[in-house]
Amino acid sequence: MIPTDFRTLLLEPDQARAFFIDARDRGAMADAAASLDFAIARVDLAGCTEKADALERIAKGLSFPGWFGGNWDALADCLGDLSWLLAPGYLLLIENSSAWHEAQPDEFDTLLAILNEAALEWRERNVAFWALLPLPAEAMAALEDAIPPPSSAQDSYNGP
């Protein structure tokens, strides 16, 4: 865990996107979001192995309207709207995602892309939209170990 002022971080729409976080920070992040009057939605993907089930759980967690179509396009549309859940910012906690990630890696990657696109759309309105995926400390360490270090060309790039 890295000590940080989560309130300050959460207020930054330019930083908001889908992130894997240490599960030990989940409560502090949710508390910080609540103190900012953010809409907080929890989605538990425990036991989920199918796209339809994941979409249904996300729809329930965010109280999607009845017109939600249960597909990727409809998810993107709803995440870009959220007019039924007005708030100064949004925090979506997607818990227990590992099994679904392993069972459906392409579908999981599509979900992450849609979440990041939603964060970009909300950023244009100067509203933070965070999608956090808490992982156990061991899984976070393995994820960090799997990320390759930047190349020397990236290290030396100083911009135009």
Residue owning tokens 């409560």 = 27
Question: For residue 3, what pLDDT band results from cuts at 50, 70 and 90?
Answer: very low
Residue owning tokens 């599509």 = 110
Beta pairing, strands 18-22 & 128-135? parallel
Task: Give the tens place of pLDDT for each residue, 44-71.
Answer: 999 998 999 999 999 999 999 999 999 9
* pTM score, whole prediction: 0.85
One-letter amino acid for residue 158 of the chain: N
Please enumerate in sequence order all residues whose Cβ is within 8 A of that of 1, keeping only pairs 6 or more positions apart, or say none: 22, 24, 25
Task: State mean pLDDT over 22-45.
Answer: 95
14-24+35-133 has CATH 3.30.70.100 classification = no
One-letter amino acid for residue 3 of the chain: P
- Beta carbons within 10 angstroms of residue 7's beta carbon: 14
> What is the radius of gyration, based on Cα positions, of the chain?
16
